[in-house]
Every structure is written in C-alpha cells, then in structure tokens.
Amino acid sequence: MILSGMIGKFYSLSEWLFKLLIANGIWVFFNFPVAYLCLSLFFVPTVEDGYVTLTVIFLLLPFISYPATTALFGLMRQWIVKKKSDKWLSFYWTVYKQNYVKSVMGGLFFVLLWGLWIVNYSLAAVEMKSLLFYFYLILTMILLTWNMHFFADTVHCEIGFFTSIKKTFFMAFGFIHYTIPMLGLASIVAYSLFQFHPMVSIMFTGAIVAYCYFFGYEQIIQRALRKSKHKEMMLE
C-alpha cells in the first residue's frame, strides 16, 4: 500500500511536470522571435548594437510576447479550475486568437509603463540600499503584479480593456498581502530552477510563474465573492 501510494504521488508529480513542460514549450515557441533576440544580446559586438536589439525587443513585446503570455495564463486557468482537456495546443491557440487584440493593447500600455520606469530609474541615479532604492523595488513589485493580474483577468473575465486595467490596478495595490507572496514564490521558483540548471529554467519557469500568479489571482477573486455573499446575507 505504501509503495502504491508513493507510485501514485510520483505519477501525479510526473504528470504535472509534463504538463508544465508542454505548456512552457508552446509559450516559448510562440515567443520565438523575442526569445531569439534576447539570446542574441549575449553575442552583440558593440553596446550600440545591444541598445538597438533591446529597442526591437521592446517593440515586439506587445505583438508577440503579450498575446503568447495571455494564452499561457489561459492554459493555467484551465488546469486550476479543473477543466479537463487534452488538446492543449488547440486550446492555447484558441485563447491566443480570442484575446489577441486586448493582449496587444495591454502590451502597448504596460511596455510604455515599463519604458517610463526604466528611464526614470536611470535618471534618478538610485543608490543601492537607499530609501529611494526600496521605493523603486516596491514599485517594481506592484507594477509586475499588476501586469500579471492583467494577464489573468484577460482570460478569466470578459470585460473591457480599460475596466480590466482599473480592476487589476486596484487588485495589485489593494491586496499587498497576496501581491508580495505571489511575487516571492514566483521569484524563488525561477531562481531555484536557474541555479539547478539554466536549461531547466528555460523549460519550466514561464509556466510555473503563470500558474503561481493565476492561482493568487483566483484566491483574490474567490475572497471577493465570499465577501459579496456575506454582505448579501447580512442585508437579508
């Protein structure tokens, strides 16, 4: 019985690892142009070429990476809400097409924000471990979580773009006790995988981070629903 239980747990773990591997592989495939340019940064001959490559990457992000990541979140949502389907690529492609325009709009919005953040940080000449450094660190965490909440909200709720932006903004700022643990868990996983082996990081990180963030997003939504039901019961 003990052996059977261990085998069952090992099988479940193997199944999850396989699913994450496939999901991450699909995501990397759809991100191939951006991934290729990111790798090419290690081989640019001059700093100027590096800046040009970075500029091209930033321009491509809204049109390639954001729709691909939205579809990855859609796949994670399907698994978290326990909707069974073996047609992962077909489902991914469906989510990709259905949310492409909204994803691009979100990409343009967030890439602009990230660009402004980078320029502002560069001009501020922030010193490590200074008060301003920690301010930017917290701001980065919130901005990143806002971005991730947008991906999750896009595949979870059929609402307008600006409504989603406002909603996820308040989620990122209003639920710091969820924001920090989600980011912490995702960061620990990404760092651990990279330390284990960079190739393992490439194979799993995207899907695991998406899973962590959508799970956190789902917890916030469920908490809001419970509060709403409680208020309705109190009014009755």
Q: What is the mean pLDDT of each run of 10 residues along the chain (236 residues)?
A: 62 82 94 92 88 93 96 92 76 95 96 91 79 85 91 93 94 80 81 84 89 89 76 56
**Which residues lie below 8 Å from residue 202, measured CB to CB, with a gap of 6+?**
28
pTM assigned to the model = 0.89
C-beta separation of 227 from 205 below 8 A: no
125: left (phi over 0), alpha (psi -120 to 50) or beta: left
C-beta separation of 31 from 68 below 8 A: yes
